[in-house]
Structure 1
Amino acid sequence: MHILDLGGPMQIFASLTELDIADIKIQCVGPESHIKSYQGIFLSAIAPLPKRLIAGDVVVVVGSKIQAELPATPAQQQVTQWLRDIGGKLPSGIVIASVCTGAVLLAQAGLLDGRLCTTHHNHLKTLQQLAPQARVISKRILVQDGPIYTSAGVSAGIDLALHLITQYFGSAISARIARENLIQFRRLEADPQLSVHLSYRNHQHPLIHEVQDWLAQQTVQTPLNESLSAQFSVSYRHLSRLFMKECGISLKQYQQTMRLDRSRQLFMDTDWSIERIAEHCGFASLQSFRAAWRQHETLPPSKWREKQRQDSQGLR
């Protein structure tokens, strides 16, 4: 077992409790109560593998020095059988995720058959051999297919944890946790698109982070110069220059991008009309929404929604 495979996601998830966002329980489970990591650190008080899972549980299978050409160790065999047992009758609301070579155990348990998946670049070939019915994807940091999440090597577990927090708690929360842990966001070309909440957070200016947090809560069409100056007691001109310097995008562009990001989520999650979504996201009119949409998307909103839902169904 690799320390960062375990410690990275644990730190991110633990931040939910540390920051008083959510009271979650983190538990290390496995076939042995004491193990030695590949880095030489001993871990103890590991709980037994649970006999059942309940809705809301997230299982993260971390990587280890697995050599597929050699017989599996007794511990690996136990984990594989446990995954096979719970995966065969996976209740709704449960997620199984892997970091690095944790995907190998998912493959051996048959959980990747017919699914999209990835792993550390050095083990892609092995993963395909173990799961010939899976679609193994290279050059990806993380891949989601239904309730199964797989990620690339080592530090990708941090990206995976932030992605899960985004899905459970929203982009603003994951951005806050990333900022508290000084995480720099990265994505490869084909990875899931980052939310605007995360895309412009790779800076350390506290005032600009406060502005971004505040803008994330605003849906009304309020003039930026008036509302921002009143909220932060800073001239709009100074704030605009500072925002552009730190984020590489203007305040107005950022606000529009954020509103479009929110509209995309509503198109996927609701059956609201275009008019209702445009109004809810703070656009002054349907025409202004359509004009902004055309700057970023090739398909009109209704066709975009239809395609997203078809693609989502295709992964199941």
Structure 2
Amino acid sequence: MRRVVFLVQPQVYLLDLAGPAEVFHTARDFGLPYELSYVADEPEIITAELLPVRCATTWPALGANDIIIVPGKQCATLEDVNPSERALSMLRAHHRQGGMVVSVCAATEALGRAGLLDGRRCATHHQLQDELAARYPAAEVVRDVLYTVDGNLATSAGIASGIDLTLHLIATWHGPTTAGRIARALVVYARRNGSDEQVSALLRHRSHLSDLVHRLQDVIDERYTEPLRLAELSRKFGCSERTITRRFRDATGLTPLRYQQALRLERAEHLIASGTTVEAAARAVGFSDSRTLRALRAAGRTAAAVAS
């Protein structure tokens, strides 16, 4: 069981709190081992939207596998983000033992006050970037990105980007298929990467109204590492191979094979970024050897260069 503890401060933004909480709550509904709790210095916290929230006042025992998330709060300046020394001590202790510490929006300031930002990449709301950089010159404030992950420290730009960050963590720990399912359950059709506006292949081609194609995509998402032949899909869904290909292309702009390759490529890139060799990544996502993966990666780099 992995415990997720939200450190709730007065004037917390509801979406900063509820967005990441809903991601992990939905992950639990999908059978993943998460337990959520909410801790504050007082038993009742008034949010920025004036809604009272009840919290525990004692911290649960935490291990290195657990997560502390600090949602952002309404503030005119980072000086207004003033967690208690008890809360800062918990952040330091948890981070020291290797636990993940996450902030949303202005709450990056809480990580700074705990002494966790020095030498680390971090993000915050775009209106607070200059102030954060001035307050913590030893930190690398990455501007105009949705989120950053630097070891066991993760920070997001604010408000809805807390959802993007927590979906990214789910994808890292449990795979992009699981993260995509959670995003779909939340009706989040634009899960974004931290550094740019590119969305996951699992969601990029889901903004259509074809039930048939959605069901086809569900099969491919589930079995993207396996050989999938049009004849098999045709029998499963009771329509011709030509109809499947036409309907799929009309809805997504891709053939079923190209969609499967996009899923494989995205997962392979994630594995390679995590230290896996190209050969091992190719095998893990279903390619018989690394040549196809290398060709797809090269084609993607060429397309990106042309687009820029």
Partner of 1:291: 295
Aligned equivalents of 1:61, 1:277: Cα separation in 2 = 34
Over 3 Å counting, the alpha-carbon distance change for 1:79 and 1:192 in structure 2 is farther
Residue 29 to residue 219, structure 1, CA distance change in 2 (3 Å): same
Conserved in 2, the CA contact under 8 Å of 1:139 and 1:188?
no
Q: Is the 8 A contact 2:234 2:240 kept in 1?
A: yes
Distance 1:70 1:195 in 2: 36
* 1:305 paired residue number: none
> Kindly tell me: are residues 116 and 36 of structure 1, through their superposed partners in 2, closer, same or farther at Cα, counting changes over 3 Å?
same
Which residue in the other structure is 1:82 paired with? 90
Distance 1:289 1:247 in 2: 22
1:166-185 matches, cutoff 5 A: 166-185=171-190
- What whole-Å deviation, never above 9, does each CA across 1:192-236 have from its counterpart, x for those lacking one? 9644223323345443233223213143434x3212112222222
2:149–2:155 CA contact under 8 A, matched in 1: yes
Q: Which runs of 5+ in 2 are unaligned?
A: 1-11, 303-308
In the alignment, structure 1 residue 12 sits paired with structure 2 residue 19? no
Once the 2 structures are TM-superposed, how far is the Cα of residue 266 of structure 1 from its aligned partner?
4.2
Provide the rounded CA distance (Å) in 1 between the counterparts of 2:278 and 2:194.
32
Unaligned 5+ segments in structure 1 are 299-316
**Cα RMSD, aligned residues only:** 2.7
CA distance in 2, matches of 1:29, 1:248: 47
Whole-angstrom distance in 1 between the partners of 2:151 and 2:192: 20
| Matching residue of 2:114 | 109
Relative to 1, partners in 2 of residues 1:130 and 1:76: Cα closer, same or farther, differing over 3 Å?
Answer: farther
Work out the CA distance in 2 between the residues paired with 1:290 and 1:188. Answer: 22
Q: Is the 8 A contact 1:171 1:198 kept in 2?
A: no
Q: What pairs up with 1:1-316 in 2 under 5 angstroms?
A: 1-18=12-29, 20-44=30-54, 46-50=55-59, 52-68=61-77, 70=79, 75-87=83-95, 89=96, 91-92=97-98, 94-185=99-190, 187=192, 190-191=195-196, 194-216=199-221, 217-222=223-228, 224-268=229-273, 274=279, 277-283=281-287, 287-297=291-301
Residues 293 and 163 from structure 1, CA distance in 2 versus in 1: closer, same or farther, beyond 3 angstroms? Answer: closer
Aligned partners of 2:151, 2:173: CA distance in 1, in Å?
14
**Counterpart amino acid of residue 281 in structure 1:** V
Q: CA deviation at 1:109?
A: 1.2
TM-score using structure 2 length = 0.83
TM-score (norm 1): 0.81
Name the SS for the 1:208 alignment partner.
helix
Structure 1 counterpart of 2:8: none
Number of aligned residue pairs: 290
Deviations 1:26-66 (A, max 9, x none): 1011211111111110011x112527521321111000123
Q: Secondary structure at the residue paired with 1:174? A: helix
